Chain A
Amino acid sequence: MTREPFDRFAADQSEERRSSVRGGAKAGHEARGRALEADGVPFDRLRSLAARIKQHTLDHLDAYLRAATTSLESRGVTVHFAADAQSACGIVTDILDRRRAIRVVKTKSMVTEEVELAHHLEQRGIECIETDLGEFVVQLARDRPSHIVKPIIHKNRAEIAATFESHGLGPYDDTPEVITRRAREFLRRKYLAADAAITGANFISAESGRLVLVTNEGNSRFCLAATRCHVALVGIEKLVPTDRDVGALLDLLARSATGQRLTVYTEFIAGPRGVGQLDGPDEMHVVFLDNGRTQVLASDCRQILRCIRCGACLNVCPVYRQASGHAYRGVYAGPIGAVLSPLLEEPGRRFLEKADLPRASTLCGACHEVCPVDIPIEELLVRMRDRAKRSGATSGSTPSMGAWALVASQPDAWRAALSAGRLLAVLPGWLGPEPLRAWRDNHALPPWRGGAFRRWLEKRGAAHAR
């Protein structure tokens, strides 16, 4: 039996990094709690409604995709569908090529990372700059985000300042205000020189065709105001039936993510710029992305598609707090990542490569407790473990359950084991089955008491009538 690489990664982290992640996550969780309490938010009632809205949409996704496409097209938006990452990158590249766009600015978007769009564009000589401050730092440092809402939760100011210095953004200065001001100035030049803007979308209302973008920094407003072509890459699960339903989700999104009632900017985009407006895109595209989502939709874990990417599950997760986002080796980290990441890769080799992620959980259910769309994540994790086992994912670390099941379904064998276990007390620590050794590395063993309760009962039975 071998120790899980995920556990080793967590242990090998520097104390500083672990502390940054744990502190950031804890602060996010506490901010959420304060926000819900301060406004007396009826969380269970609201999230129940939000869950039903998302699940209803998923259960009728074909109809809503058609409705959304009609609404978008009637507003002058060109709609495309991409079956996979390669197709998505191809579509975006074609759009940019037709505009002869060679400089692009983009907002934070998980799906663009999923398909590795920036990398694809860079290889074709198209500059693609991340404008969200955290993602900008990640891009400069050639790092990966460690949290879906707070990408540089794992970094301290010294690391950021060093990155800025090595990329010519001025001499070393780790004052947060200076870091922010330098990013503002650098990126402003990029916005104004860019030919196109790439965004994701938090929601799309099928009724009105409105894209909803939720941000704090003003980067998405600037990306759109300063450029003439807008391309939005959107997972098919981002649909919501009506504008009113969007409102219900907005009630919970910012509170869950950062403890704000609303993020600073909530943009409702229903097409290219309005008549008479001098700034903004004259052309708009929405690219709906599958990339494994239809597979998830067909599975017994489909509720995971309700996710609105708030990050509350990461913030409360005791395992995420110890391991950080990088331990999840993918775009999606934390409890959501442990389910979605392997599921998007299913079937095949790449699923097996991620099959350890659902095991990296105590199944405590805190994620479910905070989820604004009531996803039963702890149940989905167990289903994923079943799926992994049936797919032949070998786990060197999980004790074999076959032998145990044999004993636990045969009362005589069980009763015999109750007595035999006495040997444990006299076994030296380095002997015995691997799970026992692993346990004894960190824990003092309790005394073996197999059979004691049953004997107690017998004695009592002799004294009392049963």
Chain B
Amino acid sequence: MPDDRALVMRRVGAALSSLRSREPLPVHPEDGTGASSVCASAARANPVAAFVTQLASVGGRAFEAPAPLAEWLTARGFLRGYCDREALGALAGAFAPPLSLDTRFMADRIDEYDFGITRAAGAIAETGTIILNDALTSRRLGSLAPWVHVAVLKRSDIVPTVSDAIRALGTDPYVVWCTGPSKTADVEGILIQGVHGPGEQLVLLT
């Protein structure tokens, strides 16, 4: 297999050797609020409320208890779902027929799942973002393939800002920030919700 490591590194070194001056390591500003101090202060004051507001603004929806969630799904005909085993407890028995749940994801029946329920690793209040990772999601496809994704989120896991969430990235090799349902505006700039990922992003707060 060709590998040009030495060649490329030599070229980089040569390119930099003629520099008369080099930009020093920049210092981040002390306050670290990032882009939006407006959102950040609201998010710090009340992370849960800010998260729920921002989630709605990006097209998502939050539920404070499992029963209203079950009602919402039933009313819209989203009846068959997958649920991570560890997330079952949060449903507190509210999911009765006609709703049905698999706790083992059957990849060959992927299109039969109307919804997928998995655990969130956290959330970002100022942007309405849900944080998922490999450790807390048994099956990535369970959070991605069905039209509806429900993220089970502990209120205490909501951090105020993007900067906080960067600090909290941790050691998981796969972290994904989900800010609302999947979207595209490729066709004439018209916004369509639900492309390859979920068309509905729901959160169950615990």
Contacts and interface: CB of A to CB of B under 8 A. Distances in A.
A40 B187 contact: no
Interface in A232-285: 236, 241, 243-244, 246-248, 250-252, 255, 258, 260-274, 276-280
Contacts of A191: 196
Given A75-B173, A280-B174, A243 B166 contact: yes
Interface string B173-189: 11111111111111111
Nearest to B36: A39
Interface in B1-33: 1-5, 7-9, 11-16, 18-19, 22-26, 28-29
Contacts of B3: 80-81, 91
B150 interface: no
Given A23-B189, A91-B1, A180 B36 contact: no
Given A39-B35, A222-B196, A83 B166 contact: no
A280 B195 contact: no
A56 interface: yes
Contacts of A316: none
Given A262-B177, A264-B181, A268-B174, A184 B196 contact: yes
A202 interface: no
A275 to B, nearest CB: 8
B138 to A, nearest CB: 7
B37 interface: yes
Contacts of A60: 16, 22
Interface string B184-206: 11111110101111100000000
Nearest to A254: B179
Contacts of A188: 110-111, 145, 196
Interface of B: 1-5, 7-9, 11-16, 18-19, 22-26, 28-29, 34-39, 58, 105, 107, 110-111, 126-127, 129, 133-135, 137-141, 144-145, 162-163, 166-167, 169, 171-190, 192, 194-198
Contact of B197 (A87, A222, A244): A222
18 contacts: A39-B35, A40-B36, A40-B37, A49-B29, A55-B23, A65-B8, A65-B9, A81-B4, A83-B4, A83-B11, A183-B195, A217-B183, A225-B144, A248-B34, A261-B36, A264-B180, A264-B182, A265-B197
Contact of A133 (B14, B144, B163, B195): B195
Interface in A261-312: 261-274, 276-280, 288, 290, 294-295, 297-298
Interface in A361-385: none
A297 B141 CA distance: 41
B8 A290 contact: yes
A183 B197 CA distance: 12
A181 to B, nearest CB: 8
Interface string A118-138: 000000000000011110010
A258 B16 CA distance: 34
Nearest to B59: A264
A90 interface: yes
Nearest to A66: B9
B163 A262 contact: no
A3 interface: no
B176 A244 contact: no
A29 interface: no
Contacts of B184: 133-134, 180, 216-217
A270 B26 contact: no
Main secondary structure of the interface of A (DSSP, over half): helix
A236 B196 contact: no
B62 to A, nearest CB: 17
B4 A221 contact: no
Contacts of A117: none
A213 to B, nearest CB: 9
Given A176-B190, A241-B25, A208 B35 contact: no
Contact of A56 (B26, B180, B186, B189): B26
Interface stretch (A151-159, A320-328, A352-360, A399-407): A151-159
Contact of B8 (A24, A210, A267, A294): A294
Given A41-B35, A91-B1, A218 B197 contact: yes
Contacts of A56: 22-26
A244 to B, nearest CB: 6
Contacts of A20: 188
A236 B8 contact: yes
B139 A184 contact: no
B68 to A, nearest CB: 25
Contacts of A241: 25
A67 B67 CA distance: 50
B176 A265 contact: yes
Contacts of A39: 35-36, 38-39
B178 A248 contact: no
A52 B22 CA distance: 10
A217 B141 CA distance: 15
